[in-house]
Amino acid sequence: MPRNTLTQAQAAKAALWAQRALGLEDWTLSVHVGDDRPEWAECPTDEASAGINCYDPAFKRAGIWVSPGRCSRCGWDPRHTLFHEIVHVSMEEAGLPQESQGPPTEFVIDRIAALMNQAYRP
């Protein structure tokens, strides 16, 4: 797969693998790949965002959005971005709400996502 491409089917397969790897089998993850922000992504518009996660821990469901176009403009791998957003969901599951996740947590999340991206075999 070229570095800055990710199809909906590839993302769904990678998300299922990540869900199992992180012990999130009891969560429902909805993955959206595309450059248009889905309506459910009620997060602030940030042109630098290449991915967003919105989740509801009470119902164990999350939406993950990855923008291949934004990833390309920033030089990011969209699959890494997908794994990064799923790790955010895992951190919520562990009891670390996103609003308490600062730069040190982002660093750790990014490292975990990088390891997952290296370990994943499509």
User: What confidence tens digit (pLDDT) does each residue in 81-90 have?
Assistant: 999 999 999 9
pLDDT in tens, 40-57: 776 555 555 778 788 888
Q: What pTM value is reported for the model?
A: 0.87
Taking the C-alpha atoms of residue 88 and residue 52, their distance in angstroms, rounded to an integer, is 10
Query: According to the CATH classification, is domain 8-119 in 3.40.390?
Result: yes
**Which pLDDT belongs to residue 37?**
80
Q: Per DSSP, what are the bridge partners of residue 65?
A: 32, 52
Amino acid at site 18: A
Taking the C-alpha atoms of residue 1 and residue 112, their distance in angstroms, rounded to an integer, is 21
The answer to whether residue 115 scores a pLDDT higher than 90 is: yes
| Domains of the chain, residue spans | 8-119
